[in-house]
């Protein structure tokens, strides 16, 4: 009986250890499968993180929102950003909310970077586009030379996944080959 108990406990612990990383992968893929696509206009920077590798830092055009009144938004506060698309097809901030919006609205969570009068500047959790070590520098050069591009971000129930960065309609990954 003791042997069976230990084996059962071992199997249970192994399943628990597989569940959490599996759920993280599933949740990200669920956003990619079911999410609504938004194009975020970008302005690049190319830093390196010694622990996570090379990436292209994306500075989005849709990071500032003018609140109707001077409100009490706090720095580092998590907010829900309501999204819509402008006439050119790029993501545009429709509004900000402290509470989770209705399910039919496209929204993503972000942090308030800073506030000046009624101008709220946001930081999105998908502002880093990771690339292979050898390709990141070439990608930066291409991106800076063209200085026009956008990020394809899939949004589903407040979760967002950076799918790709495109320059003149072509994937930055392909251009950096």
Asked if residue 91 and residue 29 are part of one domain, the reply reads: no
Domain of residue 116, residue span: 36-175
Asked if residue 92 and residue 61 are part of one domain, the reply reads: yes
pLDDT, position 1:
62
On the question of pLDDT at 163 being above 70, the answer is yes
> What is the rounded average pLDDT of the residues 41-47?
62
The total domain count for the chain is 2
Asked if residue 4 and residue 62 are part of one domain, the reply reads: no
Asked if residue 89 and residue 18 are part of one domain, the reply reads: no
Phi, psi of 113 (to 5 degrees): -80, -50
Asked if residue 44 and residue 90 are part of one domain, the reply reads: yes
Least confident of 112-116, 143-147, 161-165: 143-147
Distance CA 58, CA 150 (A): 9
Asked if residue 49 and residue 20 are part of one domain, the reply reads: no
Asked if residue 87 and residue 3 are part of one domain, the reply reads: no
On the question of pLDDT at 21 being above 80, the answer is yes
If pLDDT is split at 50, 70 and 90, which confidence band does 36 have?
confident
Distance CA 53, CA 5 (A): 43
Residue 78 tokens read as: 């998590």
> What is the rounded average pLDDT of the residues 136-157?
79
Residue carrying the six token digits 């993180």: 49
pLDDT in tens, 78-110: 999 999 999 988 999 998 888 988 777 899 999
pLDDT, position 112:
92
pLDDT, position 42:
74
pTM given for the model: 0.71
Asked if residue 62 and residue 82 are part of one domain, the reply reads: yes
Asked if residue 54 and residue 6 are part of one domain, the reply reads: no
Max Cα-Cα span within the chain: 69
Asked if residue 42 and residue 62 are part of one domain, the reply reads: yes
Distance CA 34, CA 44 (A): 28
Asked if residue 87 and residue 51 are part of one domain, the reply reads: yes
On the question of pLDDT at 47 being above 70, the answer is no
pLDDT, position 170:
87
If pLDDT is split at 50, 70 and 90, which confidence band does 175 have?
confident
On the question of pLDDT at 62 being above 80, the answer is yes
Closest CA to 101 of 157, 156, 39, 62: 157
> What is the rounded average pLDDT of the residues 134-152?
77
């Amino acid at each position: 009986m003791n042997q069976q108990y230990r084996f059962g406990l071992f199997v249970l612990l192994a399943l628990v250890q597989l569940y959490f990383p599996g759920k993280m992968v599933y949740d990200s893929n669920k956003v990619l499968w079911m999410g609504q696509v938004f194009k975020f206009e970008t302005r690049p920077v190319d830093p390196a993180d010694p622990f996570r590798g090379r990436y292209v830092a994306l500075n989005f055009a849709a990071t500032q929102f003018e609140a109707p009144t001077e409100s009490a938004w706090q720095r580092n506060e998590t907010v829900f950003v309501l999204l819509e698309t402008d006439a050119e097809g790029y993501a545009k901030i429709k509004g900000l909310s402290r509470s989770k919006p209705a399910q039919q609205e496209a929204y993503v969570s972000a942090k308030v970077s800073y506030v000046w009068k009624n101008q709220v500047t946001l930081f999105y959790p998908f502002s880093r586009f990771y690339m292979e070590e050898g390709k990141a520098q070439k990608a930066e050069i291409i991106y800076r030379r063209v200085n026009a591009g956008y990020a394809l971000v899939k949004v589903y129930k407040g979760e967002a996944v950076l799918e790709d960065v495109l320059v003149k309609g072509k994937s930055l990954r392909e251009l950096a080959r």
